[in-house]
Amino acid sequence: MAGTIIEQIRPDLHRTEVPLPRNPLKATNSYLIKGDERNLIIDTGMNREECRMAIMEALEQLEVDLAKTDIFVTHLHTDHIGLVDVLLHKDATAYFNQPDAEILSHDNLWQLVCSLSGQHGFPAEEVESAIDSHPGQRYSPENEVDYTMVRDGDVIRYGRFELHCVATPGHSRGHTCLYEPNLKWFFSGDHILGDITPNISTWLVEANPLGEYFQNLDRVDRMDIDLVLPGHRSLITDHSKRIRELKEHHRQRLDEVLAIVRKNGPCNAFETASQMTWDLVAEGWEDYPLMQKWFATGEALAHLRFLEVEGKLKRKMAGEVMYFLAV
């Protein structure tokens, strides 16, 4: 596949931009650490032909032997985990986190998501189409993988690199980053992104992913980091500055959501999302792509739930639909 972007960031550290055609994320950053005896790939791209061709071209150019190459997956989203079964050699190790693995192994995951989306106002006539077109449904690994589970504080070593696992729930329930303390590198997955903001969303009303996200932004802010290597877009050299920007973005979102509920009275997540400000080129909410409505509704619910935990909103049920209203 001509045009694959492969960059040497530091000696023994390369980045491949794995393209995501017709996706607003544009590409996933897949990192390769070359060790003395074994290598490590961090995140893979989606299970689709364009991604597979790009990453295989990169590995060939970098003369990577997959029999000597392990894989670390930061979180469950298919743009990070999609090709793990394709790249994983039978003698290699795939590292993953337990909370996300449990979600992927749920017997009726998509049926559960379908029922929860209706509870939060997503139109019943659009739910099936949304599920069918969801990238997690279409581009996930085809085969089961026998993962080696890692926890917060675990250390994996590749050559001169000492990689500490840092659990950062928020973007996903088990999201896990890697930190190299000697070089002060931080592989952030989707916990910290430079040019875009990570989607913080939920369909589970008892969860509070935005609260977890804030806590883990603060945790990472206290770390000694010189270079952040994110899952998408450009590298970050001032992590504290970017963390302040991300926190401010979500604080503004919270103010907007609270104002919407106070103005309109009880709102479900879908209604709230339809009135929020989104960075999309469209005439109005009705013209938004279906998947963008889906992700927007999940993000609206995460912010509604945070405001409920803060005591600024409360919930009520009207039939089978959940609404939030100001306290």
Whether 88 is in a domain gets the answer yes
Whether 116 is in a domain gets the answer yes
As a whole number of Å, the CA-based R_g of the chain is 20
pLDDT of residue 134: 85
Measured distance CA(212)–CA(189) in Å, rounded: 16
Whether 287 is in a domain gets the answer no
Whether the CB-CB separation of 309 and 207 falls below 8 Å is answered with no
Residue identified by tokens 């409360």 is 314
Whether 97 is in a domain gets the answer yes
Is the pLDDT at 17 greater than 70, yes or no?
yes
Whether 38 is in a domain gets the answer yes
Whether 155 is in a domain gets the answer yes
End-to-end CA distance of the chain: 56
Residue identified by tokens 């792509």 is 289
Is the pLDDT at 113 greater than 50, yes or no?
yes
Ranges of beta strands (E only) in the chain are: 5-10, 13-19, 27-34, 39-42, 69-72, 94-97, 148-150, 155-158, 161-167, 176-180, 185-189, 227-230, 313-318, 321-326
Average pLDDT (259-279) is 96
pLDDT confidence bin for 2, thresholds 50/70/90 = low
Measured distance CA(308)–CA(202) in Å, rounded: 14
Total number of domains in the chain = 1
pLDDT confidence bin for 279, thresholds 50/70/90 = confident
Average pLDDT (174-190) is 98
Is the pLDDT at 1 greater than 60, yes or no?
no
The percent of residues in the chain predicted with pLDDT above 70, rounded, is: 99
Whether 107 is in a domain gets the answer yes
Range of the domain at 49: 5-237
pLDDT confidence bin for 117, thresholds 50/70/90 = very high
- Record the pTM: 0.95
CATH number at residue 100: 3.60.15.10
Whether 308 is in a domain gets the answer no
Q: Out of 96-110, 139-153, 294-308, which region has the weakest mean confidence (pLDDT)?
A: 96-110
pLDDT in tens, 226-265: 999 999 999 999 999 999 999 999 999 999 999 999 999 9
Average pLDDT (51-72) is 97
3-class DSSP assignment, residue 33: strand
3-class DSSP assignment, residue 95: strand
Amino acid making up residue 168: T
- Strands 176-180 vs 185-189: parallel, antiparallel or unpaired: antiparallel
